[in-house]
Each structure stands twice: as structure tokens, then as C-alpha cells.
Amino acid sequence: MRLHTFRGGVHPPNQKHLSADRSIEVLPLPPRLYIPLQQHAGAPALPVVTVGQKVAKGELLAREHGVTSAPLHAPSSGTVTAIGDFTAPHASGLPLPTIVLDPDGEERWVEGEPPPDPFSRTPEEVARQVGAAGIVGMGGANFPASVKLSKARQAGVHTLVVNGAECEPYVTCDDRLMRERAAEIVDGAAIMLHALQAPRALIAIEDNKPEAVQAMRDACQNDARMTVLSLPSRY
């Protein structure tokens, strides 16, 4: 496949060696969690819990509000201790409406039926399921993924692009994710292809991540719809 390029670009020292060979770690559970209600583009979510309420992990804390919005779920089981404006982890330092949750350490999951097989659902149902899960993009706008899916399907896209470039200096989280969780990424891409009704996926990875390139190629070798592309490194 012919790769297109662009003029310019810079090549800063990437310093990725500082963390590229360190495995993904699970952080210990903190004694208090601050959950901003504005973690996505559009309108902030609206709380559906009250102060003093005990919640299970995965339980709905706030529902979406408006067309472009996303719900929020409890990252751990515990007690809601406050709802109000708190300083957000953002360069602006501005306060945001926030739910404060004190974990109980039990990591008790909410009861309910397991999620349905996405391949047995229509594309519209998959988009709704993605929306109900509160999944948003990892870019600067954190755009709700369900909105992206719906608009892309309506536009009749023919190709899903999985962005594994990760060109920023120092950053290696995508690199490690592709090395360690390649099969899960391919499973997710297959679900997106079904939701979009698109015939192919291109997985784009910069050539300074050879281990990730190989891991992804191994993971999707049995799915002819997916192609892994190694791109020149450029920031």
C-alpha cells in the first residue's frame, strides 16, 4: 500500500526509552476519588446519586445531558461523600462540578446481566451500547464515541483507522498497550467494523515501535480486513 506523507514536521528527541520497556502497572486504589462531570465534549453529565449513597463499581453516577454528552460510572465501590465544584486536573485550574467517592476497598461490581454479544446486535444497537458505557475518545476533546459512530455510519465510511502513531515525546502508553493487549485491540476494531459496516481497518503505527507493529500483525493475521501499516516517525 502506498503511504502518503506531508511536508515539514519536526524530530525532537523522543525519550521513549525511559518507559517503553516497562510493563503496564495497576495503581493502588486511593482513599478518595474525584470524578469530574465534564470529562467529554459537550454538556456535563447530571448526577443521579446523592451524598451518602453507597454505590457499586460500574454503577451509574451521572447520566448524559444533551445530544453530545456521556454518562459516568463508579470506578470503584464505596460511598458518595460530596457533590460540588472542585479544582479539576486541568491546566486552567478552574473548578468543575464533581462527584467525590470514598472507596470501601471491596471493589464490588454492580449486579446485572452481562453485556450482549455486539455481533448479534444491529449497528444502531452497538452505538447505543457504546453510548451507555460512557466511552469517549482519547483526544483533547474526549468526544463521545457513540456520536462518532453514528455520524461515521451515516456518512458511509469505508475504512476504520486505528491510530497507534503516538508521536509525542516521552509517551509510551499506546506502545505498551499494543504490545500487551494486541488481541483485545483487534477485538475492539472488529466490533467497530461491525458498528460502522465498514469493510476494512488500517492500523497505523510509527516505525519506532517495532515490537508493537509485530504484536499487532500477529494479533490480526487471521482477519483479512485488517492491515497494519508501519509509518515514518514524525512529530
Q: Report CA 194 to chain centroid distance, whole Å.
A: 18
pLDDT band at residue 174 under the 50/70/90 scheme: very high
Of 110 and 5, the structure prediction assigns the larger pLDDT to: 110
State the DSSP string of 143-201.
-BHHHHHHHHHHHT--EEEEEE---SSS--HHHHHHHHSHHHHHHHHHHHHHHHT-SEE
Q: What's the pLDDT at 184?
A: 98
* Average pLDDT across the chain, whole number: 92
Q: What's the pLDDT at 152?
A: 93
Asked whether the predicted pLDDT for residue 68 surpasses 90, the reply is: no
Q: What's the pLDDT at 235?
A: 81
Q: Are 69 and 38 in contact (CB under 8 A)?
A: no
Rounded to two decimals, the pTM is 0.89
State the DSSP string of 126-148.
HHHHHHHHT-B-SSTT--BHHHH
Of 233 and 78, the structure prediction assigns the larger pLDDT to: 78
Q: Which domains does the chain have, with CATH numbers?
A: 33-103 (2.40.50), 156-235 (3.40.50.11540)
Q: What's the pLDDT at 1?
A: 67
Q: Are 77 and 55 in contact (CB under 8 A)?
A: yes
Q: How far apart are CA 60 and CA 73, in angstroms?
A: 4
Q: Are 205 and 231 in contact (CB under 8 A)?
A: yes
Asked whether the predicted pLDDT for residue 141 surpasses 80, the reply is: no
Q: How far apart are CA 72 and CA 3, in angstroms?
A: 39
Q: How far apart are CA 102 and CA 29, in angstroms?
A: 10
Q: Are 54 and 81 in contact (CB under 8 A)?
A: no
* Residue at 63: amino acid letter: R
| Average pLDDT of the segment spanning 161-182 | 95
Sheet holding 200-206, edge to edge: 159-164, 200-206, 226-231
| Average pLDDT of the segment spanning 77-96 | 91
